[in-house]
Amino acid sequence: MRDVYIIGVGMTPFGKFLDSGMKQLAREAVENALEDAGVTSDELGLAAVGNSGWGAYAGQLAIRGQVVLRPLGIGGIPVINVENACACASTALHNAWLYVASGQCELALAVGMEKLYHPEKSRVMQSFIGGTDVEESMKMIAEALQSGQNPHTIFMDIYAREARRHMEKYGTTQRQLAAISSKNHNHSTLNPKAQYRKAFTVEEVLADREVAFPLTRAMCSPIGDGAAAAVVCSGDYVKGRDGSRPVKILASVLGSGMDRGEDGANICRRLALQAYELSGVTPGDVDVAEVHDATAYAELAASEHLGFCAYGEGGSLAESGATSLGGKIPLNPSGGLECKGHPVGATGLAQIAEIVWQLRGEAGERQVEGARIGLTQNGGGAIEPEEAAMAIHILAV
């Protein structure tokens, strides 16, 4: 397998853009990435395009990538359409990486895009069920309704249940979850592309409206619209290119959930071990990470599975300040999904863009000093007892 580098990234701001269509969002992200890379679209040998919800709202199925890329003059090359729940964009990057690493092309484009705002909010909430085992989820929702509970989105209930299990097993507290959320909200104030840019104290997070105990609204990611993209190339292509600022992909690992039994390793731990082995990196070598904090609990769990602390210590790690900017292992300097936003099909490549900017020293006020190695962890969907899909990338300069 050949060395692969990211030489360009781009993303839109994340937020509520009722007047912007998917083609417009994708155009902004792709053009920004191509400009950042200093390449033209006719040099591309592949495009991989991730999206999850467009078909549910607009009926645009099967050829979403071709539809958004044609107006940009991108056609003729292989276009891979990727649907993998919240891991769409990172899966698209994995496909682009594979094409370049295996010698199929020299230059490839990965795109993630999403529109979740819709005048009929119930359709949006209903669509999230598709990222789970629908038959089992409908039973869970029916039970919640019978008991008088509001099930909200199915994923918030799943995360809340896992958080309660963690609390029972390790003594994790709701206040520790609030510390994670407060940290991410504070980080988001430094990110001009974040959907929410309001600081929250721990007390304000705890006082926010409860979604499903122990999660309050401030601990949960919002829905949103947006797109992100990356241009990847081979080591041979990047040689002699002045000013390309290449970031090397040390590891690109993709996997799916499994029935692992009571004592089996979680999908995140399994993939992390693979990524560390492939890259020759240890958890202690990672300077900065963007992890899939669809809720504050999800970040806590990721910090443990990724080996940044021992199991049961994720809450105290956050409370200590170690995961904040200036700490030992800053997590989600972008503000994370909780605050930067979570347009499902775009999230994984937005994480990649943040790490690329961090490693180049281009992250502005949220820059992690001396960052040389970065990691992204992007989960997608849920099938008991873990995420249905996940990708982990380790990048370095």
- Extended strands (E) in 213-344: 215-216, 225-234, 247-256, 288-291
Say what the pLDDT of residue 327 is. Answer: 98
Q: Degrees (nearest 5) of the Cα angle 345, 20, 26?
A: 45
DSSP character for 86? Answer: B
Q: Give the whole-angstrom CA distance, residue 328 versus residue 322.
A: 5
- 231 close to 31: Cβ distance less than 8 angstroms: no
H or E stretch covering 159: helix 154-170
pLDDT at site 210: 96
In this predicted structure, the answer to whether residue 55 has a pLDDT above a threshold of 90 is no
Distance CA 354, CA 288 (A): 10
Contact 29, 227 (CB under 8 A): yes
Question: Which residues lie across from 77 on neighbouring strands?
Answer: none
Q: Is the pLDDT of residue 132 over 80?
A: no
Tens-place pLDDT, residues 138-182: 766 666 666 665 555 788 989 999 999 999 999 999 999 999 999
Q: Give Cα separations from 216 to 53, 181, 338 (angstroms).
A: 25, 10, 11
Q: pTM to 2 decimals?
A: 0.94
Q: Which residue has the higher pLDDT, 199 or 150?
A: 199
- Comparing 153 with 234, the larger pLDDT belongs to 234
CA distances from 17 to 12, 21, 383 (A): 11, 8, 31
Gap between the Cα atoms of 191 and 354, Å rounded: 10
Query: Any idea which residues carry the catalytic annotation?
Result: 86, 342
Looking at residue 188, its pLDDT comes to 98
Distance CA 260, CA 249 (A): 29
Tokens of 179: 């510390």
For the chain, which domains are there? 4-119+224-248 (3.40.47.10), 122-222+251-396 (3.40.47.10)
Q: Is 241's pLDDT higher than 90?
A: no
Q: How far apart are the C-alpha atoms of 270 and 255, rounded to whole Å?
A: 9
Q: How much is the pLDDT for 124?
A: 65
Judging by beta carbons within 10 Å of its beta carbon (0-12, 13-18, 19+), is residue 88 exposed, middle or buried? buried
Max Cα separation, the chain? 65
| Cβ count near 76 (within 10 Å) | 8
299 within 8 A of 180, measured Cβ to Cβ:
yes
The reported pLDDT for the residue numbered 259 is 79
What's the CA gap between 100 and 95, in Å, rounded?
9
Q: What is the spatial distance between Cα 224 and Cα 253, in angstroms, rounded to a whole number?
A: 26
